[in-house]
Amino acid sequence: MGMLLEGKVSLITGAGQGIGRGIALRFAAEGARVGVLDINAAACEHVMTEITQAGGQAIALPANVTQGGDVRNAVHTLADRFGWPNVLVHNAGVMPSGRIDETGEEEWDRTFAVNVKGAYLTCREMIPMMRQAGGGSIILMASITGVNGLPGLAAYSATKGALISLARAMAIDYAREGIRVNTVSPGTIDSPMLHRFVAEQNDPARTRQAFDDMYPRGQVGTIDEVASVFVFLASDWASFVSGANYAVDGGMSIYSMQPRM
Ligand SMILES: NC(=O)c1ccc[n+]([C@@H]2O[C@H](COP(=O)([O-])OP(=O)(O)OC[C@H]3O[C@@H](n4cnc5c(N)ncnc54)[C@H](O)[C@@H]3O)[C@@H](O)[C@H]2O)c1
């Protein structure tokens, strides 16, 4: 099999670290040209260098996904450099914890701004370019919390549910233009986001074990296991896949926990 993403020009938000970085590296390894967008400019440069040193093609696009002007500049810079973009991954996200009565107004607004408005702004800029490219694939990063109830993640869960609904609406709206739209809903992934959350708890080792125990295989997922699904959805192998929400959680969301005997 040749490289799966040869000829693709992709924009990946939140690609400076964690899962987004993993997706960027895998896309480049599969032949895609990659726009590495992140609010952290140094991280963007670092990932771009990692890709180019491995023989891939990438451009660093420091930008804040909540700012329309930033997003427009980033998308135009990408198109000027690599041609019409045809793959968008909106992965940038923030995850404050808290139940609804513990969530401040600013935190609520910030969570929706990065997770949901970021999707709106990137899609709004990318869709006209995808038309020029003759079609494309949009993949929004949701989460298992967008469908399943998890405690203490109210605002975050609401944003992820919104992304799943947004993807379904866009999948219908743009189908005739050859633009597919899907969401990926990972379970817990061994990532900086998880490490930060675990480190903040009273007993980090116990918390980490509790996360692993939620999964039928006894272990959370890896960044590469998530990136593989993004490669598939971005590729032409997924030409009849649109409006779908892929759970990437090792069966956690269909797991009815039994008491341990
Ligand atoms: N880690 C998990 O277990 C897990 C599980 C399910 C879903 N997710 C989702 O995957 C995505 C990535 O998660 P991660 O664990 O890699 O997180 P992370 O915090 O390690 O990385 C997020 C990246 O997004 C960037 N970012 C944040 N705000 C931004 C903004 N306004 N503009 C541009 N970039 C911005 C950050 O600088 C960072 O590089 C998130 O959407 C998250 O909700 C993560």
Which atom of ligand 1 sits closest to the CA of residue 93? 41
DSSP β-ladder status, 179-186 and 245-248: parallel
Nearest CA to ligand 1 atom 11: 91
Q: Check pocket membership of 141 for ligand 1, CB cut-off 6 A.
A: yes
Looking at the chain, the whole-number percentage of residues with pLDDT higher than 90 is 95
User: pLDDT by residue (tens digit) across 52-65?
Assistant: 999 999 999 999 99
Q: Check pocket membership of 40 for ligand 1, CB cut-off 6 A.
A: yes
Q: Within 13 Å of residue 252, how many CA atoms lie on the same side as its CB?
A: 26
Could you tell me the pLDDT band of residue 261, with boundaries at 50, 70 and 90?
confident
Instruction: Give the pLDDT score at 1.
Output: 58
Q: Which residues pair with 33 in a beta bridge?
A: 9, 57
Mean pLDDT of 223-248: 98
Which atom of ligand 1 sits closest to the CA of residue 70? 32
Q: How far apart are CA 135 and CA 119, in angstroms?
A: 18
Mean pLDDT of 74-100: 97
User: pLDDT by residue (tens digit) across 119-175?
Assistant: 999 999 999 999 999 999 999 999 999 999 989 999 999 999 999 999 999 999 999
CB 172 within 8 A of CB 198: no
Q: Check pocket membership of 250 for ligand 1, CB cut-off 6 A.
A: no
Which atom of ligand 1 sits closest to the CA of residue 145? 6
Which letter does DSSP use for residue 33 in this model? E
Q: How far apart are CA 140 and CA 123, in angstroms?
A: 10
Q: Note the pTM of the prediction, 2 decimals.
A: 0.97
Has residue 260 got a pLDDT over 90?
no
Nearest CA to ligand 1 atom 38: 14
Has residue 193 got a pLDDT over 90?
no
What count of other Cβ atoms lies within 10 Å of the Cβ of residue 260? 5
Q: Mean pLDDT, the chain, as a whole number?
A: 97
User: pLDDT by residue (tens digit) across 130-141?
Assistant: 999 999 999 999
The fold for domain 9-186+221-248 equals: Rossmann fold (3.40.50)
Could you tell me the pLDDT band of residue 67, with boundaries at 50, 70 and 90?
very high
Q: Check pocket membership of 189 for ligand 1, CB cut-off 6 A.
A: yes
Cα dihedral sign, 108-150-20-254? negative
State yes or no: is 156 an active-site residue. Answer: yes
d(CA 38, ligand 1 centre) in Å: 10
d(CA 18, ligand 1 centre) in Å: 7
Q: Check pocket membership of 221 for ligand 1, CB cut-off 6 A.
A: no
DSSP β-ladder status, 9-13 and 87-90: parallel
d(CA 66, ligand 1 centre) in Å: 14
CB 153 within 8 A of CB 197: no
d(CA 163, ligand 1 centre) in Å: 14
Q: Check pocket membership of 89 for ligand 1, CB cut-off 6 A.
A: no
Question: Which residue is associated with the tokens 């910030």?
Answer: 110
Instruction: Give the pLDDT score at 151.
Output: 92
Q: Which residues contact 23 (CB under 8 A, 6 or more apart)?
A: 12, 15, 89, 91, 226, 227, 230
Which atom of ligand 1 sits closest to the CA of residue 16? 39
Domain coordinates in residue numbering, the chain: 9-186+221-248
Question: Which residue is associated with the tokens 């993403």?
Answer: 5
135 alpha-carbon distance from chain centroid? 20
Could you tell me the pLDDT band of residue 257, with boundaries at 50, 70 and 90?
confident
Q: How far apart are CA 187 and CA 213, in angstroms?
A: 12
Q: How far apart are CA 24 and CA 37, in angstroms?
A: 10
Residue 249: which of 145, 155, 97 has the closest Cα? 145
d(CA 222, ligand 1 centre) in Å: 14
Query: What region, left, alpha or beta, does residue 256 occupy, with left being phi > 0 and alpha being psi -120 to 50 degrees?
Result: beta
* Three-state SS annotation for 106-151: HHHHHHHHHHHHHHHHHHHHHHHHHHHHCCEEEEEECCHHHCCCCC
Looking at the chain, the whole-number percentage of residues with pLDDT higher than 70 is 99
Q: What angle do CA 181, 186, 192 make, to 5 degrees?
A: 120
